[in-house]
A and B are shown apart, each in its own frame.
Chain A
Amino acid sequence: KQEVTQIPAALSVPEGENLVLNCSFTDSAIYNLQWFRQDPGKGLTSLLLIQSSQREQTSGRLNASLDKSSGRSTLYIAASQPGDSATYLCAVRKTGTASKLTFGTGTRLQVTL
């Protein structure tokens, strides 16, 4: 059974800092991994999707990496801003299980002024 863990559970950083969020998964037979952002009282917004054959994806100040063999992914946020404050979730899609995404527990990020 796939288990996805995110560390840390919560993080507070001053504006302008670079930061790394971690995601680990127990079964390396994944099809892809997706990072989401969830604002309080809102739905999920997709940030980056990495296919199992890829090592990283970049979008603006965000960079996500994937090391499938070790079961790890990181989300790097450069020059953090207060608007980045949200909960960040990673989710993996396992090979052969059609549509199912298994979510991590999330990292709650607070970027302070």
Chain B
Amino acid sequence: DTAVSQTPKYLVTQMGNDKSIKCEQNLGHDTMYWYKQDSKKFLKIMFSYNNKELIINETVPNRFSPKSPDKAHLNLHINSLELGDSAVYFCASSQASGTGNTIYFGEGSWLTVV
């Protein structure tokens, strides 16, 4: 059983398109995240949701819009894709915001904008 699953794993699309990446966790966690890993392998948080509410938004362009229909899902929608959006996007979850619990990551979604 995959704890944090995200789809698609690979996505190649043209500039200007709109795309979505879906994420689901079956761990019963109440906090979910999106992280971006750039070409230099540096990981940086984009968003964090706790109980479907946005609690962290790290100055991400508003072309990126997270949506959390329920605690187990956090989807990432990207409008008007740009070349610089090419990266690996990781979804993650943990038990609660502000506690010491382990964060679990999905396998990543490789986005290539051409």
CB distance from B18 to the nearest CB of A (A): 25
Q: Which residues of A contact B106 (CB under 8 A)?
A: 43
Segment of B67-75, B76-84, B92-100 engaged in the interface with chain A: B92-100
B48 in the interface, Cβ–Cβ < 8 Å?
Answer: yes
Q: Is A98 an interface residue (CB 8 A)?
A: yes
Taking CB atoms, residues of chain B closer than 8 Å to A98 are 48, 50, 55-56, 97-98
Contact of A49 among B43, B97, B100, B107 (CB under 8 A): B100
Chain B: interface secondary structure?
strand
Asked if residues B98 and A43 are in contact (CB atoms below 8 Å), the reply is: no
Say which size band chain A's interface belongs to.
20 to 34
| In contact, B55 and A99 (Cβ under 8 angstroms) | yes
The secondary structure that dominates the A interface is strand
Asked if A46 and B108 make an inter-chain contact with CB atoms under 8 angstroms apart, the answer reads no
Would you list which residues of chain A between 56 and 113 have a CB under 8 Å from chain B?
87, 89, 91, 93, 98-103, 105-106
Interface size band for B: 20 to 34
A99 and B41 contact, Cβ closer than 8 Å, known pairs A43-B106, A44-B90, A46-B104? no
By the criterion CB–CB under 8 Å, are B42 and A105 in contact? Answer: yes
Task: Give the complex CA separation of A109 and B50 in angstroms.
Answer: 34
Known: A49-B100, A105-B42. 17 other contacts (CB 8 A): A34-B103, A43-B108, A44-B43, A45-B105, A46-B103, A49-B102, A98-B48, A98-B56, A98-B97, A99-B50, A99-B56, A99-B97, A100-B56, A100-B58, A103-B43, A103-B44, A105-B41
Taking beta carbons and an 8 Å cutoff, which residues of A are in contact with B?
Answer: 31-32, 34, 36, 42-46, 49, 51, 87, 89, 91, 93, 98-103, 105-106
What are 11 of the A-B contact pairs (CB < 8 Å)?
A34-B102, A34-B103, A43-B4, A44-B90, A98-B50, A98-B55, A99-B55, A99-B94, A99-B97, A99-B98, A100-B56
